[in-house]
Amino acid sequence: MNATPSQPHPAEWTETQELLPSVERDLPAGRHQFHKEQMMAQIHEDLRAAARPAAPVVTPQRRNPFLRRAILLPAGAFALAGAVVAGVALSGGNGDGDGGTADLATGPALTTQIGAADPKGAPQLLDRISLAAADTSGPAVHDGQYTYIASKVASTYPKTVDDKTTIVSQQLHDRRVWMSLDGKDGWLIEAGETSDEGRTLAGPNPIAGAYDALAKLPTDPDALLRHIYKESDANRDPEVPRDQAAFVAIGDLLNESYPPADLNAALYKAAAKIPGVVAVDDAVDAMGRHGIAVARQNDTDGQRTEWIFDKKTLELLGERTVQVKADKDGEFKAGTVTFTSALTQRAVVDGNKQLPGKAS
């Protein structure tokens, strides 16, 4: 995988509809139910309630996309690190008390064509992707540096105003994350969730996906997968199937951390061993880039998580979650994109909030 994804071209998919301003935004629909859902949802609501007066909006009890990151740390630190990230990323509307931020504009639900799944094609595709990743040198890092991940993201969720519920999607927006190698410091900037200046991710526990923690993980695919199952079993929502939780955990590491090259290749080999993983002939990232995908469907909610790769270079472009079959409540129809992302840059920088190519 290259450190910097290819430059985007104009969007070519139905997801890039014009998004209109909205009056008020509910808790966004999540693409994963990976952490302690009810507890985190309540934390989010408590924070939002403290920041605004009561409004006639019914908040759906769905996963918030800002709790989406898996944490492959010792079991005791797993939930704690997630809570640290959640605590600084969910207050919505006030970043460090310095001016706050307006809600993102929303528009019609993002939709897409559902790509054909090939259960027999995943092992071969993942083997090719692993080889490509192994051929790409990882970043040279030293103490005091930070990993930097930039992406474009959007979520789809039900919004209820005056007893009327509609399914809406956020405006595609930037997300930028800095993380110290030891995981003790970091910064997040995301439109609609932080102020323009962003907010700290520092806390008493290591941040999820820190480079030093990743460097200690086993690179043997079997040992790595056993580790992933052990950690996800200890922390997953009971409603999320075990194999799906493991697949999501790997995808989270691939998309918003910077694994060493040997671990990066091992993650793909480990994913090939998870039952139910398929290849998808066509998928589109948040910026309209078409590619092939490695995916797995959660039969509990009918959603399929797709990792999207360039068809020629096998470079990771991003990921999305697609409603393959309508959910049991009838809110999300087949073809709805509940979450979409596109990686735009990955780098190692010398300081927190420093941009690649610029001195601190």
Instruction: Domain ranges for the chain, please list them.
Output: 37-349
- Return the pLDDT at 359: 66
- CA 93/CA 100 separation, integer angstroms: 5
The string of pLDDT tens digits covering residues 163-196 is 899 999 999 999 999 999 999 999 999 998 899 9
Average pLDDT estimate for 308-335: 94
Decide if pLDDT at 236 tops 50: yes
pLDDT > 90 fraction of the chain, expressed in percent and rounded:
62
What average pLDDT score do residues 56-77 get?
A: 33
**pLDDT at site 204:** 87
Q: What average pLDDT score do residues 107-134 get?
A: 96
Q: Is a pLDDT exceeding 90 seen at residue 14? A: no
What pLDDT is recorded for position 61?
Answer: 30
Average pLDDT across the chain, whole number: 78
Q: Is residue 95 pLDDT above 70, yes or no?
A: no
Predicted confidence at residue 31, as pLDDT, reads 35
Question: Global pTM?
Answer: 0.76
Residue 101's pLDDT band (cuts 50, 70, 90): low
| Confidence at residue 294, expressed as pLDDT on a 0 to 100 scale | 98
What is the mean predicted confidence (pLDDT) over 36-40? 37
pLDDT at 90: 29
Distances (CA, A) of 299 to 204, 239, 244, 276, 296: 37, 11, 9, 10, 9
The pLDDT value recorded for residue 331 is 87
Say which residue the tokens 């996800």 belong to.
232
Q: 115: helix, coil or strand?
A: coil
φ, ψ (nearest 5 deg) of residue 37: -60, -55
Distance CA 195, CA 255 (A): 23
pLDDT beyond 60 at 207: yes
What number of other Cβ atoms are within 10 A of residue 157's Cβ? 26
DSSP E strands, 171-245: 173-180, 186-190, 199-200
pLDDT at residue 43, rounded to an integer: 37
The neighbouring-strand residues paired with 176 are 150, 189
